[in-house]
Amino acid sequence: MILDSLPAIFCYLLFLVHLWWAVARGCDSGWSEFESNCYYFPDTTDTWLGGNADCIRRGSFLCDPSEGGQVRYVGYNTRRPVTYLGVQVNVGGGVVNYNGNGVNYNNFPPNRNSGYCYQYPNQWRSDGPDVEKCYVCQTRYDSTIGCPGSYRQWRSKCYNCYHNQRRNFYGSRHSCQGWYYNSIARAEVQDPTIAALQGDLVSIEDQAEMDFVSDLISGGVQNGTLDVTDYVDTNFWMGLELNTTQAALMLTEDPQASTVDAWHWTSPTYETKQARTTYSNWYPDSGNYREPSYGTCGSIYPSRWNTCGFNSGYRYGYTCRRSRKLTVSHAWNLLRGYIWLMYIGFTTL
């Protein structure tokens, strides 16, 4: 009898595991998720301090966007066009968040006044704290699991922009792939961990990912990460290469043909699993190859795509992307939850 019920028991447990995982990794009811953050958009208005107190009661804080994509998300979803954020401008002009810590990103105009930040509709401004406005609460769930060091998680991948490690295209790609010089072997060797995580120059699936990468690049420029003591070219390599054989064939058939479709990613995009480009963001005519001087590799400058030779005398910064790695502690937490659900499942049948 029990053996006959095993398939049903297994399906029931599998359903509970998936349900538990979704709840554990997602946002509470009434909250919306964007880039590993949970947002709550109240229907009411309040003062800055009142809104902050309400967010604290909800186990969160007044929203303090850390990149342009989050600013746009708040602007698109807020109940009213004027929205308090958890950011302040102090008397000296410094920008801090709700608990007084300095921020790496702000969207204020150059001549900003001291006060409490509000967004209208996507531009930050400052005012006194006593006028009632709409506000947004924000909390974070643990999205850095599996992303090492300075890498940032977005969707299911980890990203890092190397602003000051300037290399040519292939040098940048080798760095992302984990190649380094081993003094004992006296040769270039690849870190097997990075190889297993498919580290490479970033490939870009859609406009949302483009916004994230652009914010990652510009954030380093804005907060002083980028070393500007020497001449700095603000191009940043991405994993985009031209198939010159395909481009030459296209031009042979039609000298006026567009060669934009001859570009491909050095690693497949994580959504389509294809190396061909289904999304592009070129400057006008930049991706339209005519001869080698046009360049056969892609770069980002500052948020649009440009072309450059792979062995250019210029050395650019670059952005890497790799898969997330499941940690031992994360796996153990998942296993404990699975064991608990098995117990609940058997005791309720």
Residue 18: helix, strand or coil by DSSP?
Answer: helix
Q: Are 143 and 218 in contact (CB under 8 A)?
A: no
Parallel, antiparallel, or unpaired for β 157-167 and 152-154?
A: antiparallel
pLDDT value for 305: 92
- The letter for the amino acid at 316 is Y
pLDDT value for 164: 84
pLDDT along the chain (349 residues), means of 10: 56 49 58 83 92 84 86 85 89 76 79 86 87 89 64 83 89 90 78 81 88 81 52 79 88 86 77 67 81 80 83 81 65 49 49
pLDDT value for 20: 44
pLDDT value for 13: 58
Q: Which 8-state DSSP code applies to residue 83?
A: E
Sequence length of the chain is 349
Q: Are 292 and 126 in contact (CB under 8 A)?
A: no
Q: Are 131 and 138 in contact (CB under 8 A)?
A: no
